[in-house]
């Protein structure tokens, strides 16, 4: 098959553009490269060109060029037919964390609160239909190697996510919910959209969110918003604990109080 002419390429780009983005302001090549990098995860640590092509739903020839470029730049390594991420991808995350003025106070915040409550503490921001942790601390006996900075959770089914969704205006949240495809992760996961709307509205009224075994079996979490000096919510802070160690009353009592005290101490430090 010959190369697409400029008109065909523009038409194809227009079909895949994010809403509100003009074709001349969008680089398909860059978008493909990022999609390929994001294809590698816990379930896909090493992949062939064919594996990547299936995962990102792009032609194999396109993926081959993209992968070759990423190998040349040092973001992927090649061993025969297999490819995997290199530590260089951490530069992207490090750039975000070091350029974000809040990061300098958020990690110490997590560590102080963790020491006080002896449970895991995280800060997260909204990224699409998920939340991503940008700071985290856990007691030594509770450290989970699979959970750390960069870990993601579904926004609709996590306390962190519901706090951040509650900060959206009605139009933005309605649009988010319309595009959402709630999937049950446990027997307790709420997937009905009307019920989720009511829950998020209640979080907005209460000023906190509590989630019990919806995102993960045997795990509960309570979260509060982190606001800038002007009242805009920029992140969420939570305490998470196993249901076998901590009861609901403790989560909604001492744990929630500790979260609110921590947020009050942080007031004015987020830009």
- Is residue 271 assigned to a domain? no
Among 21, 52, 87, which residue terminates a domain?
87
pLDDT digits (tens, 9 = 90+) for 174-186: 999 999 999 999 9
Tell me what pLDDT residue 6 has.
44
Tell me what pLDDT residue 189 has.
97
| DSSP sequence for 81-144 | TEEEE-GGGHHHHHHHHHH-TTHHHHHHHHHHHHHHHSSEEEEEEEETTEEEEEEEE--GGG--
pLDDT digits (tens, 9 = 90+) for 109-148: 999 999 999 999 999 999 999 999 999 999 986 655 557 8
Tell me what pLDDT residue 48 has.
96
Name the pTM for this structure: 0.73
Residue 146 lies in domain: 100-266
Where does the chain have alpha helices with state H?
6-16, 28-39, 49-56, 60-73, 90-99, 103-117, 159-166, 170-179, 193-206, 248-250, 256-266
Among 87, 121, 141, which residue terminates a domain?
87
Same domain, 246 and 130: yes
- Is residue 92 assigned to a domain? no
Q: Which two tokens stand for residue 138?
A: 């856990």
Same domain, 112 and 70: no
Residues 6+ apart with CB under 8 A from 238: 121, 122, 124, 159, 160, 163, 221, 222, 223, 224, 259
Same domain, 158 and 213: yes
Same domain, 136 and 80: no
CB 143 within 8 A of CB 166: no
CATH number at residue 256: 3.30.450.40
- For the chain, the farthest-separated pair of C-alpha atoms sits apart, in whole angstroms, at 66
Same domain, 163 and 258: yes
Same domain, 130 and 192: yes
Same domain, 31 and 154: no
Instruction: Count how many domains the chain has.
Output: 2
- Is residue 107 assigned to a domain? yes
Question: Would you place residue 54 in the very low, low, confident or very high pLDDT band (cuts 50, 70, 90)?
Answer: very high
- Is residue 93 assigned to a domain? no
Tell me what pLDDT residue 267 has.
74
């Amino acid at each position: 098959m010959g190369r697409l002419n400029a008109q065909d390429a523009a038409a194809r780009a227009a079909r895949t553009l994010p809403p509100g983005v003009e074709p001349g302001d969008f680089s398909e090549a860059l978008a493909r490269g990022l999609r390929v990098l994001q294809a590698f995860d816990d379930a896909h640590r090493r992949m062939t060109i064919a594996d990547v092509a299936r995962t990102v739903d792009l032609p194999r020839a396109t993926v081959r060029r993209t992968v070759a470029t990423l190998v040349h730049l040092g973001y992927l390594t090649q061993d025969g037919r297999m490819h995997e991420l290199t530590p260089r991808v951490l530069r992207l995350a490090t750039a975000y964390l070091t350029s974000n003025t809040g990061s300098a106070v958020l990690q110490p915040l997590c560590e102080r609160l963790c020491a006080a409550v002896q449970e895991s503490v995280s800060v997260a921001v909204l990224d699409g239909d998920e939340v991503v942790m940008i700071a985290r601390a856990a007691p030594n006996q509770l450290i989970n190697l699979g959970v750390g900075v960069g870990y993601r959770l579904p926004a609709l089914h996590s306390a962190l996510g519901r706090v951040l969704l509650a900060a959206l205006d009605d139009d933005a949240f309605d649009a988010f919910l319309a595009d959402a495809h709630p999937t049950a992760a446990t027997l307790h996961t709420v997937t009905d959209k009307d019920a989720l709307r009511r829950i998020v509205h209640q979080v907005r009224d209460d000023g906190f969110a509590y989630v019990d075994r919806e995102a993960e079996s045997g795990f509960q979490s309570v979260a509060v918003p982190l606001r800038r000096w002007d009242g805009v919510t920029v992140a969420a802070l939570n305490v998470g604990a196993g249901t076998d160690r901590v009861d609901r009353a403790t989560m909604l009592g001492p744990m929630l109080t500790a979260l609110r005290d921590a947020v009050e101490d942080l007031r004015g430090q987020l830009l």
